[in-house]
Structure 1
Amino acid sequence: MTAVVIGFGNRLRRDDGAGQRLAEWLARRRRPGLVVRACHQLTPELVALLPAASRVLFIDASLALARPQLQPLLATPPSAAEPFSHALTPQQLLALAEQLLGAKPAAWQLLIPAHHLQLGEGLSPATAAACRAAWPLLRHWLKGDA
């Protein structure tokens, strides 16, 4: 089985691109049995990665944190009141994979503290430091210890 890492966020909104940047850095290291995607947002097309995955990690930025956090995730189907969109949450993507393909990989999210989401490129110094601080959590997950 394969492990999948999906880093996402808007690189044109400064720290919101932290997930993409971490995924791109990891992809350059080319680990066997690891599929890495960096993307602007989670779209239904990403469901195709999940049937062969035993584990999946979503990496995203969050304004609500002081330090990086690794958290387990469960699939959450969208409610009937929610309009279906081309952009999904990690929980909705997991639910879609289960509904359409029967895929149920174990899932986690790695959240990176964000400080500046205004228009612009590049991470703030605080979020760049948080990305470096997230590496032990990412290595822990990659070893299968999470």
Structure 2
Amino acid sequence: MLGRTAPAFRASPANLYAADPTGAGLTRPTRGDTDAAERLYRNALHLYRTTGSPLGQATATLGLGELARVRSDYGTAERLYRNALHLYRTTGSPLGQATATLGLGLTQDERAMLSLMKPKDRARYLLQRRINEKAEMAVLLSQLQELRHQTAMSVINNIR
């Protein structure tokens, strides 16, 4: 839905929040629609880069990192978390820094745990992860909604 309107969308701080007032990018993962969520996060990242909002870029990058971790793509998740952490440090957001650092820790913990498992147990664990993906994404949703709110307020305050 948002992807069809993105080419004509004029990126400005005033309409970044209005681009997705229903939070579709955040709610799609809870329905297991991680591909659609990824497209929306990438669209948001592009818009935040266009308007020069490092806090928005960090939030979108963090969302992409969470999606990668849920998909067990640990290398990509670590890279995205590190990028988000750098951006949050740049903006001075302690909550964002803490969330990105937590994501890095969870990613490294999961990667280490998988490396110690026997192949059969690893396959079973990864299958169980896919089954539990929706519950984990619900936790992600609550974390990202807070960050999204902070980003929107930052953009609004910069307009004033």
After TM superposition, the score normalised by the length of structure 1 is: 0.33
Q: Which structure has more helix as a fraction of its residues?
A: 2
After TM superposition, the score normalised by the length of structure 2 is: 0.31
